Every structure is written in structure tokens, then in C-alpha cells.
Amino acid sequence: MSKYNDHIAIVGAGIAGLALGCFLQKYQIQNIVIERNNNISNEGAGISISPNGIRVIERLGLLKELKKKAFHNTSASFFSEYEHVLTNPVNVFTSTRSNIYEILKKEYLKIGGQILFDSEVTSINKNKCEVVLNKKDRYKVKHIVACDGINSLLREKGQKNKNIYSGYSCWRGIIKQNINNVNLVMSPKSHTVIYPTAQKGYASFVGVIKKEKGFVDSWREKGAFQDFANDIIIPPEYIEAFKNIDLYRWGIYIRKPMKKLYTKNLTFLGDAAHPIVPFLGQGGCLALEDAEAFAYFLKEYQITKAQKYYNENRIYRVNRISSMSLNQGRLYHLSNKTFINARNRLMQFKFIRDMSTSFLWDYDFLNSKLNNFNS
């Protein structure tokens, strides 16, 4: 069928897919978002947007909406078990994933975008640049963009690379608690992050444990409070808040870094390209950065050249942040007392903290030297 011959087919209505759709609409590049589910949900999953992601949101004209749907954190407090280590100034918005999805979806549809819900891409033909939906409807498209997450079907079709258990598993949920900044508790057994959401009086938490055998790779598996309490160090003031809520658990899986973020007629964005452990809060921000970069190159160049420049611009950064995130997990879970004391002392020095945050947060695609490619 030729209905979408001139369209970029974006597979997955997550953050990467919807942000890419918004940018393409701005650039008047025809596109269609294909989503296998009938709506977008998040089951209590939280998200943080740091300055590198905020810049992308702002360029989409959505900063005002973000401020309505997210909590603006100006500080983050770090604890080594129950000992306060430091409180550090930050500029980070925290919310639920569904809020960010809704902001992007609303904007995408408002500016003329189209989403095909209940439409699973069951196969593709890379040579012919075709997608098959629900095992029956075949469409030829201009290009295919995989934004369908860590379990990407399209990644399996494009570059086979199995999920690998990271050695970490998580608990998460939403608790009734008034807090005004990010709180992170480090310990050998676990580390926990609790932060405000846009809904007043509620906070999102993620508790991470080192575990030889991971929980299932699903954000929807519920767990029992007693199991949670055995796994996670809970600050005493929060214990009651956890007792009567839905607790979810899942294993954190990653993939080997890709050598290229594209193949013939197919480009990878977000978790489909580079799933990372969440210890630096960069998954959503990297998806936003990917979307802005690829849309820009599609605007400026023919598709094959856009793919090449997108890859050159993104591959080093995403792989370095993936490595940094794994190292951050190791620092959070130190067990040797000498190393713990050294970590806590070093965290006091601003220049050391800035070494990592400047690489993460100061990045701005439009001002990066790598975006000025010539033919």
C-alpha cells in the first residue's frame, strides 16, 4: 500500500518517538507514529529531566507544560545509609513518565501528527523499506525509525543483540509523602532515590539492589512489602508510606553497545539504540537528544547522509554515558568502609562533582561542534 510512501515511519510512541514526531512536524517532514498498544501507560514509573533534556523540551516550545506537569528540584541530598553526606544544587524536573508522554503526545497531535494505536509492527523488509502491521497490513514508507524500547523488535531485525542482565534489579512505586528535593540513599546492599512528582503530596521512588538473578524484565510485576523491606534500606520516616501502596519490581537489562545506530533504511533512537542502567537519570534525556539530532539531520540532508551524521554525533556520547551509569552504580554500592569514606569525602568537592555533571548536563546539540557537517 502506498498510503505512507513519503512518510518517516516512527515505531513506538514513547519519549523518543513522540519527540521525533514533534520535531519532524515542525520541519514539515511527513511522518507517522506506530504504537502497538491502544494507549500510553506507565504504572507508576518516574522520570527525571536534567538541563540537557530541558533544552530540548524548551526548543519544542513545551517548557511551560513541563513546569505544570513536573516538580522543579533545586537541590539533591545524598546519604550514606543514614548519614547525610551533602546537599547539592541541581536544576532537574521530576515527574511520571506518563506526564511526559502526555505532554509530547498532546503537542504532536495538536500540530497535525498522526498515531496509529493498536498497530504492532510484526515484520519489516529493510530492502524494500516496508513495515507489516498486525501480520496483515503492509506499507511502504520513506524510512523506518526504531523507537520501540529495549525489547525492540526492529533491533532484532536490524542488528541482533540480546538483552543482558546488568546485575541490578529495582523496586519502584509512588508514595504519599511531602518532599521538596531529590533524596538518594547509598548502601552496599541497595541504593534508593526518592523525589517529588507534579502531584502535590506524592513522591516517586526507585530502590535498586544488587542481585545475581534478576527479577523478570517487566515493569508490571507486583511485589510484596515484606520482600521489598528485606531488599531495600528504607529511611525510618518513610516506612509507613510504603506499607499500603502498589510495589513493582523488575530486572534491569542492557545490551552490548551498538557499533552503529543505523542500518539500511532503519535508524535506532532511545532505548532501542542504547538501553542504559538508570543510575544517572539520563534515559529520557538521551531519547530527547536523539530525537532532536536525527530530526535536524533529516531536515538538512538526504536520509543516508542524515543517518551517518546522526551516528557520528551520538555514538560516542551515548556509549560513554552508558559506561558512566554502570560506574555510578558501583560507587553507590561500595562495601569496603575505607572506600565508602573516601567516596563520601570526595563527593564534598565541587570540581569532582562537576567533572561528570558538566559532560551530562552542559550538552547542547545545536551548539555542539559535531552538528556542522559538510557534504
Q: In the Cβ-directed half-sphere of 360, how many Cα atoms lie within 13 Å?
A: 23
| pLDDT tens digits along 295-308 | 999 999 999 999 99
Quick check: 142 pLDDT over 60?
yes
Percent of the chain whose pLDDT exceeds 70: 93
164-254: what CATH class? Answer: alpha beta
Residues with Cβ within 8 Å of residue 361, at least 6 apart in sequence: 50, 51, 52, 91
Ranges of CATH 3.30.9.30 domains, the chain: 164-254
162 pLDDT band, cuts 50/70/90, is: confident
pLDDT digits (tens, 9 = 90+) for 103-135: 999 999 999 999 999 999 999 999 999 999 998
Q: What's the CATH fold of domain 8-42+52-71+96-163+258-371?
A: FAD/NAD(P)-binding domain (3.50.50)
Give the rounded percent of residues in the chain with a pLDDT score beyond 90. Answer: 70
Region 92-111: mean pLDDT is 96
- In angstroms, the Cα distances linking 184 to 76, 222, 292, 311, 365 are 8, 23, 30, 34, 29
Give the pLDDT confidence score for residue 375 in this predicted structure.
38
- Over residues 223-247, the pLDDT tens digits come to 999 999 889 877 777 788 888 899 9
Contact 302, 142 (CB under 8 A): no
- Pairs from 117-121 (Cβ < 8 Å, separation ≥ 24): 117/13, 117/35, 117/37, 117/38, 117/39, 118/35, 118/36, 118/37, 118/38, 119/34, 119/35, 119/36, 120/36, 121/11, 121/34, 121/36, 121/148, 121/153, 121/154
Condensed to tens digits (0 to 9), the pLDDT of residues 21-61 reads 999 999 999 999 999 998 765 555 789 999 999 999 999 99
Quote the pLDDT of residue 44: 57
pLDDT beyond 70 at 157: no
Measured distance CA(26)–CA(28) in Å, rounded? 5
Query: Which tens digits make up the pLDDT trace of 170-204?
Result: 999 888 888 999 999 999 999 999 999 888 888 99
Q: Answer yes or no: is pLDDT of 368 > 80.
A: no
The C-alpha atoms of residue 308 and residue 267 are separated, in whole angstroms, by: 10
Q: Where in the chain is the domain with CATH 3.50.50.60?
A: 8-42+52-71+96-163+258-371
**pLDDT by residue (tens digit) across 239-277?**
888 888 999 998 998 888 888 999 999 999 999 999 999
